[in-house]
């Protein structure tokens, strides 16, 4: 990956080639993760050389991608719909991080935009779940799969999913933007500040101003149910889905720092990521991240470990 980062930073042509190639290859399901590489390449240029160079690479990347998509696929709209939601946030967050130099503050701002996205969706649509259900039913009918709509279990699952879809979409958007930024920051540290990203991530936590609104959202979420709810309760659950994800990431940072302090084998971190596939462990990590804002778990653990090593 260091060689790829070096190649990106050699010049504008190299950067554009990685951004565009990553986007084109990501059109296949197997290579879809390459969209992160595409966005991270753009973010790396912006982090290192500023927003003007980032916008220049973005402009040429769009130009080349549209041309390639028209020649290969006969249509560029679908490709742009895939990459623009990755490229624009990548450039914006990279420039924001370049200016404020705080990974935690930048990710918190990205989270705030995601939260506002959920709220604005409710302001525009009123009850987004009805909109999503109607859209999915129409899509299934057009695809010739209308027979599944007669299955009560499928309809119930559709209804439940529609009630949290806005929150899941916003969470997915925030997660993708954050991971692209993390890859770019890691590349930058690899090239110019070895070990810098590791230290940044080990000290990562959501901004203090974000904690109290988060608690209010989680409190409202705890009084809501997916079975029968008002629009306000549904909104609290959707906001809660995102908030829990934000603090899960902080919990992961806490775990990485504690593993480094204790000099644990990397197998333990791999096990942690496997366990994150379960909702129960996700909730535990989110609570860990939330509590860390008051107890500063990492500092306390380092102090206790230091005393034990004496």
For residue 44, pLDDT over 80 is answered with: yes
Question: Do 253 and 210 have their domain in common?
Answer: yes
In this predicted model, what pLDDT tens digit does every residue of 183-218 receive, in sequence order? 999 999 999 998 899 999 999 998 888 888 889 988
Please state the rounded mean pLDDT for residues 115-137.
Answer: 90
Q: What is the pLDDT of residue 80?
A: 84
**278 plus 266 within the same structural domain:** yes
- 2 versus 305: which is more confidently predicted? 2
> What distance in Å separates the CA atoms of residue 289 and residue 247, rounded to the nearest whole number?
5
Q: Which of 80-84, 133-137, 145-149 has the lowest mean pLDDT?
A: 145-149
Whether 115 and 60 share a structural domain = no
* 224 or 119, greater pLDDT: 119
Close Cβ partners of 75 (under 8 Å, ≥ 6 residues apart): 69
pLDDT beyond 90 at 170: yes
CA distances for 209 relative to 43, 103, 253, 274, 291, angstroms: 26, 15, 19, 31, 15
Say yes or no: 271 and 138 in one domain: yes
pLDDT of residue 156: 81
**Could you read off the pLDDT of 235-259 as tens digits, one per residue?**
888 999 999 999 999 999 999 999 9
Q: Do 236 and 308 fall within a single domain?
A: yes
**Above 70 in pLDDT, residue 227?**
no
Residues 170, 51 share a domain: no
Q: Which of 82, 100, 118 is the last residue of a domain?
A: 100
Categorise residue 269: left if φ over 0, alpha if ψ from -120 to 50, beta otherwise.
Answer: alpha
**309 versus 98: which is more confidently predicted?**
98
With 70 as the cut, is the pLDDT of residue 226 above it? no
pLDDT at residue number 228: 64
* pLDDT > 80? residue 161: yes
Domain boundary among 83, 100, 117: 100
State the distance between the two ends of the chain, measured CA to CA, in whole angstroms: 39
This prediction's pTM: 0.91
Half-sphere exposure of 40 (CA within 13 A, CB side): 22
pLDDT for the residue 287: 94
How confident is the model at residue 177, as a pLDDT?
Answer: 94
Q: Residue 18 pLDDT > 90, yes or no?
A: yes
Task: State the Cα angle at 221 between 215 and 222, rounded to 5°.
Answer: 90
pLDDT band at 28 (very low <50, low <70, confident <90, very high): confident
Residue 242 has what pLDDT?
A: 93
Q: Is the pLDDT of residue 292 over 70?
A: yes
Which domain-ending residue is among 78, 100, 122? 100
Label residues 170-209 b or e (16+ Cβ within 10 Å = b).
bbebbbbbbebbbbbbbbbbbeeeeeebeebbbebbbbee
Our count of domains for the chain comes to 2
* 42 and 8 in a common domain: yes
Residue 296 DSSP class: -
The residue assigned the tokens 């462990």 is 281
Answer yes or no: do 123 and 270 share one domain. Answer: yes
pLDDT of residue 310: 62
Question: Residues 86, 149: one domain?
Answer: no
Q: What does the pLDDT read at residue 309?
A: 66
CA distances from 5 to 10, 46, 186, 195 (A): 9, 13, 10, 15
Domain residues for 125? 102-310
In this structure, the answer to whether residues 171 and 256 fall within a common structural domain is: yes
Same domain, 51 and 109: no
Query: What does the pLDDT average to over 49-61?
Result: 94
As a whole number, mean pLDDT of residues 273-290 equals: 94
Residues 13-38, mean pLDDT to the nearest whole number? 87
pLDDT over 90 percentage in the chain: 57
**pLDDT value, residue 82:** 80
Q: Is the pLDDT of residue 79 over 90?
A: no
| Mean pLDDT calculated for residue range 20-35 | 83
Same structural domain for residues 90 and 158? no
To the nearest whole number, what is the mean pLDDT of the chain?
A: 89
For residues 43-59, average pLDDT? 95
Question: Which residue has tokens 């959202």?
Answer: 217
């Amino acid at each position: 990956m260091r060689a790829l980062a070096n190649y990106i930073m050699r010049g504008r042509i190299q950067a554009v080639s990685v951004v565009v190639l990553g986007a084109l290859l990501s059109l296949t399901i197997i290579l879809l993760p390459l969209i992160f590489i595409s966005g991270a390449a753009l973010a790396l240029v912006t982090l290192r050389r500023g927003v003007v160079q980032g916008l220049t690479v973005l402009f040429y990347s769009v130009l080349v991608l549209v041309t390639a998509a028209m020649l290969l696929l006969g249509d560029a709209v679908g490709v742009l719909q895939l990459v623009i939601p990755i490229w624009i946030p990548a450039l914006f967050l990279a420039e924001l991080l370049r200016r404020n130099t705080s990974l935690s503050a930048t990710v918190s701002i990205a989270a705030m935009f995601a939260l506002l996205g959920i709220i604005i969706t409710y302001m525009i649509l009123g009850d987004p779940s009805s909109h999503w259900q109607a859209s999915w039913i129409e899509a299934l009918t057009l695809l010739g799969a209308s027979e599944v709509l007669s299955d009560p279990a499928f309809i119930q699952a559709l209804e439940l999913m529609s009630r949290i879809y806005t929150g899941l979409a916003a969470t997915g958007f925030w997660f993708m933007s954050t991971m692209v930024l993390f890859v770019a920051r890691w590349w930058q540290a690899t090239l110019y500040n070895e070990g810098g990203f590791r230290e940044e991530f080990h000290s990562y936590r959501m901004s203090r101003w974000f904690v109290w609104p988060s608690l209010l959202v989680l409190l409202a979420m705890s009084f809501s149910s997916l079975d029968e709810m008002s629009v306000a309760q549904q909104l609290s659950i959707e906001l809660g889905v995102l908030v829990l994800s934000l603090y899960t990431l902080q919990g992961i940072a806490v775990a990485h720092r504690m593993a480094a302090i204790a000099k644990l084998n990397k197998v333990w971190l791999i096990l942690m990521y496997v366990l994150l596939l379960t909702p129960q462990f996700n909730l535990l990590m989110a609570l860990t991240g939330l509590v860390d804002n008051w107890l500063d778990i990492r500092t306390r653990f380092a102090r206790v470990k230091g005393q034990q090593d004496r």
